[in-house]
A and B are shown apart, each in its own frame.
Chain A
Amino acid sequence: MSIQARHVSKRFGDFHALDDVSIDVESGSLTALLGPSGSGKSTLLRVIAGLERPDEGEIVLDGEDATAVAPQRRGVGFVFQHYAAFKHMTVRDNVGFALEVRKRPRAEIRSRVDELLQLVQLQGFGDRYPAQLSGGQRQRMALARALAARPKVLLLDEPFGALDARVRAELRAWLRKLHEETHTTTVFVTHDQEEAMEVADRVVVMNKGRVEQSAAPRELYDRPSNEFVMSFVGRANRFGDGWVRPHDLHVTLEPNGSTREVLVERLVHVGHEVRAELIRDDGERLVLQLTRDEAERLELAAGQIVYVRPTRQTVFEEARPKDVR
């Protein structure tokens, strides 16, 4: 199912949660809504689901105006950050709820629930209550529940936010795999840009109720359309008028005409890469990224003075960003 939001606005009292937001989600794609708290991403997701009504604008699902359609009839599967498990029902009853509500025959419900429990690897947990499950298990149950009625679109609101890092990584990979197998249009909300970049085909970056940029992850990183996107997606250092990525800084041990002096404050070794936290001569903090070999070649150490020069810089004018070499 394709999704379009057209000029959607939503206010909560004085707070503008969404301000003239328009997005286009292709059928079968995996899209992330990325942004900081208060950017409106969850609100947009809920408007798409029908859990909130927009003050202005339309939601178009599969070419038809669904703005006034109740959530019950939109054919969406919604997954909440804190699971929203039916705590008074067993796992089986939770997962089968959508089918029960559609009055499917009991045998059909039973086999579909079994199928789903297998899919999310909760076979054997069917008769337990949510209170007896871990966070990760509850979220898997919530996913199974949302998928039960074969929704045409899957919406996930910070689905892994409440889980610990390892479980999060596992579920991310699982979600990606699921999408590749079923090709259900999926939209998920996150404030974690790594998660968005890793999982999604397409990322919509939002800030303060507006869409900043909508593009594939690579494009967002290489060609950000404004300062906000540049600094939010990936790290970026301010250099005068422009911005420089940590791996676009060239390091030398001797100064030459266009370099700036920096003090290495701290070195962080992350796997094969080295991240150096630098303090520039004017007090500004920078982040430098190089490979382990490069760092060893320079014999980089904390407390050392070195010299850096940007190899690639991005400057944002009012209208468009410009690349400066």
Chain B
Amino acid sequence: MWASRAQGLSGFWYWITQPEAVAALELTVAVSALVALTNAVFGTVLAWVLVRDDFRGKNVVNAIIDLPFALPTIVAGLLVLALYGPESPVHVHVAFTRTAIYLVLLFVTLPFVVRTAQPVLHELDTQMEEAARSLGAHERTVFTRIILPNILPGILSGVAMAFARAVGEIGSITLISGNRPFQTEVASVWILNQSQSGNGTGAAAVAVLLLAISFLLLLTIGGLRRLATRHERA
């Protein structure tokens, strides 16, 4: 694993400044960030509905949330391609575009925020909400000032995991993105291509950079999380 660094510093700099590599990295980080954000919102809504709401079939819904964990990623990619690609039954054709990458990453990262937010929401002391109401807070205020701050650490954990997963995802993206350099080529695909064509040095360099970026972002999210829970450690 550390062998990747043994390739020489000048080579490193050369490869990470290659325009194609840079474009791939930018795309990866941008889409992953968007995916993480989307999950933050919809994952929370899903967790909310699963914990606080009740309807027929809720158990089934709760169970299928885990499907992206169980399903091979290449199959996921294939299926999203089927629905939103060339022969789409709903006439939505976004295959080989960035939207496709976005959609398939949403599929693959679906469980993360939901599963980390659920237990926190479940254990939330509803009396805090009642207290807030008795003190005059409207429902929206109760949500933004009481519920949200307390489930935020859970959401952030899920966001971190979703981001890490999205950044490194390969299997589901290979088929659907078309891997067009400068357009729909993500970092992981670029690295794969380089390693398959013998450019171990370049692949390694960009891989290291990707790792560094992920690491930085995970640290940031971890820091935010620590901030959100400082009242527990006080």
Contacts and interface: CB of A to CB of B under 8 A. Distances in A.
Interface residue SS majority, chain B: helix
A232 interface: no
Given A101-B141, A129-B231, A132-B234, A87 B150 contact: yes
Contacts, number: 74
A47 interface: no
A84 B127 contact: yes
Contacts of A131: 231-232, 234
B125 interface: yes
Contacts of A148: 135
Nearest to A130: B231
Chain A contact-residue range equals 20 to 34
Interface in A84-101: 84-89, 97-98, 101
A203 interface: no
Interface residues of B, number: 20
A197 interface: no
B87 interface: no
A88 B149 contact: yes
Interface in A72-117: 72-74, 76-78, 80, 82, 84-89, 97-98, 101-102
Contact of A49 (B134, B137, B232, B234): B134
A152 to B, nearest CB: 13
B232 A51 contact: no
B231 A88 contact: yes
B131 interface: yes
Interface string B121-147: 000010110111111111001000010
Nearest to B149: A88
A56 B228 CA distance: 43
Interface of B: 125, 127-128, 130-138, 141, 146, 149-150, 228, 231-232, 234
